């Protein structure tokens, strides 16, 4: 990694746990590659099926605040969250979004958009709940924020005691990488 590399990503969706886990996995996996890592989860008052987000910052320079109004990258797990969050991505940024329910695509032409059939892919793997790992794989593949190997190591660390869950999560992550062309 270069000394000046910095990635700031907002991950958003509804429900909460999938987004928060994806953000936490990214932050933990990035620790060997960056001097400073921040994971900041935010929930609405209605945690179950309410809007949620987390912001992950990966940097080799000190992080002044984990709260960011505008970021260079965004991952959208639920199409209903596109409109409230799309304005927070800086021009030239990267937006990775779940395809289900996303009528009209990504509503900005000054960002790089990538639409992923994460839910469909997760269902093909047998468990809708791993759609977050599919999107996370696409994010890692497109942003190059960390190497896929770092994420795979983190998945192994996190799910070592649950072999079936580890295998499913790794496969979902790999599918996301494939969809991103990595």
Each residue's pLDDT tens digit, 4-30: 589 999 999 887 688 999 999 999 999
Inside any domain, residue 16: yes
Residue 152 structure tokens: 């795979």
- Give me the domain span that covers residue 152: 6-179
Residue 156 structure tokens: 């192994």
Single pTM value for the model: 0.93
pLDDT at residue 49 in the model: 66
> For position 35, which CATH number holds?
3.40.920.10
Are the C-beta atoms of residues 84 and 14 closer than 8 Å to each other? no
What is the domain count for the chain?
1
Point out the residues of the chain with pLDDT beneath 70: 1-4, 16, 44-49
Inside any domain, residue 1: no
């Amino acid at each position: 990694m270069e000394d000046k590399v910095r990635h700031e990503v907002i991950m958003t969706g509804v429900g909460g746990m999938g987004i928060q886990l994806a953000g936490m996995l990214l932050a933990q996996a990035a620790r060997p590659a960056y001097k400073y890592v921040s994971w900041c989860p935010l929930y609405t008052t209605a945690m179950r099926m309410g809007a949620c987000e987390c912001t992950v910052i990966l940097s080799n320079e000190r992080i002044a605040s984990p709260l960011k109004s505008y970021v260079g990258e965004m991952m959208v797990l639920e199409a209903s969250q596109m409109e409230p969050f799309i304005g927070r991505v800086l021009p030239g940024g990267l937006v990775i979004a779940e395809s289900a329910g996303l009528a009209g695509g990504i509503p900005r032409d000054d960002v790089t958009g990538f639409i992923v059939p994460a839910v469909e892919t997760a269902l093909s793997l047998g468990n809708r709940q791993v759609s977050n790992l599919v999107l996370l794989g696409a994010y890692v593949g497109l942003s190059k924020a960390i190497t896929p190997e770092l994420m795979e190591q983190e998945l192994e660390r996190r799910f070592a005691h649950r072999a079936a869950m580890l295998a499913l999560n790794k496969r979902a992550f790999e599918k996301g990488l494939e969809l991103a062309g990595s």
